Structure 1
Amino acid sequence: MSLGSTPATVLVTGGSGPSGVAVARALHAAGHRVCTVGSDPDRIADAARQAGAGVTAFTCELSVPDDVRQLRADVTVAAGPVDAVIHLVGGWRGAKGIADQTDEDWDFLARGAITTLRNVSRVFYDDLAKSSAGRFAMVSSTAVTRPTAATASYVAAKAAAEAWTMAMADGFRRDAGPGDELHAAAVVLVVKALVDDQLRSSHPDRTFPGATDVADLGAAVVNLFTTPADQLNGTRLVLAP
């Protein structure tokens, strides 16, 4: 399973959107077993069909720990232990400055960016740590290193999610033990923004400078399985368009 020699079982969370479809499609095309997760049963079923025959859809509210535990049980029955989680859940809220950052926006961002990641990582951590090709990846933003007053809540939530992911990387490193080969890696994939064909067609007047196409995100995720864990673990990989 290491370095793509054997198909991995990959869970794509936040799989209903364009990035989820693109990542699931790329993983499926690369020969991996793909399970994709969303909160709306109709949307995630449609996304799985778009990603490819054999991609399995699951419905789960990832902000609820018990639901995530049930998801793990269901996925394990259907596909066996999970080797990798690609976490694409997030969301966007902005404001004019610091004073008008609302509690409602913070709750939305914290639930999407932090709570779901915490739940998924805690429930699936042991599976990833035991896998010969364990991978955990989240998508973050270049805005984290250049925060503005208008994006305070958004970048704070993303920064917290990044910190948790880096703590996972330390956990994988410690679990491997001194001198032992590292098989699991936690990675942050960084983009300025994501763009897809539907978004381009909806805004023909825009050029989306610096944005990463969701197909390129999918390719970057596939590359995680052909790169040794010790070269990936704890890294922040900026995806240039």
Structure 2
Amino acid sequence: MRDHIVVLTGAGMSAESGLKTFRDNGGLWENHDVYDVATPEAFQRNPELVLRFYNERRSQLESAQPNAAHKALANLEKDYRITIVTQNVDDLHERAGSTHVVHLHGQLKQARSSKLEHAIYDIGYGKIEMGDLCEHGSQLRPNIVWFGEAVPMIETAAEAVATADHVLIVGTSLQVYPAAGLVDFVESHVPITVIDPGEANVSRARVIRKGASEGVLEWVRLLGDG
């Protein structure tokens, strides 16, 4: 049976593809305070601003490309069972070729009903406008898990981590819960590697102090040598 590798990815993974994240700049995301664009209260207060913000992110994503780290992880599926658990809302893992991706914080290319969480629609890189309604008559919103909302896929992610033979953490400081708690589900004998040019906050982890692409390529080489 092939080893199961679970990869936890965050903002640093997509940053090398040119996608900015709010943690780069003191709580700002593309010059917007995250509490103005990434909370249910923000959507209630100014839905036009929130929709415009995510429409711009979707347009930006359309021109972004998977980087070497995305491609290297996708390529591992030839020899290993790979589960990607990502905090990113882009589709770069899928476009690189990864086939089992768990999106903790939702997906930018989806809309959902503002009243019914299960009414989800694929919209590609198109826009969501005021007046765009689900079939039940409520305004559509981005299918993004905003601050203060439940994370529907966290149990799926925890189950994957609990069955891992290797855990790789790339581009995330794992400071935001519930994602930060996923490492608690890793079996004690399972090796954990963190790829981050800064400080790692995961105990007992081997740390590769490099950016996502350089670090993932090094880790893949070490995996092959092991």
TM-score normalized by the length of structure 1: 0.42
Q: Which has the higher helix share?
A: 1
TM-score normalized by the length of structure 2: 0.44
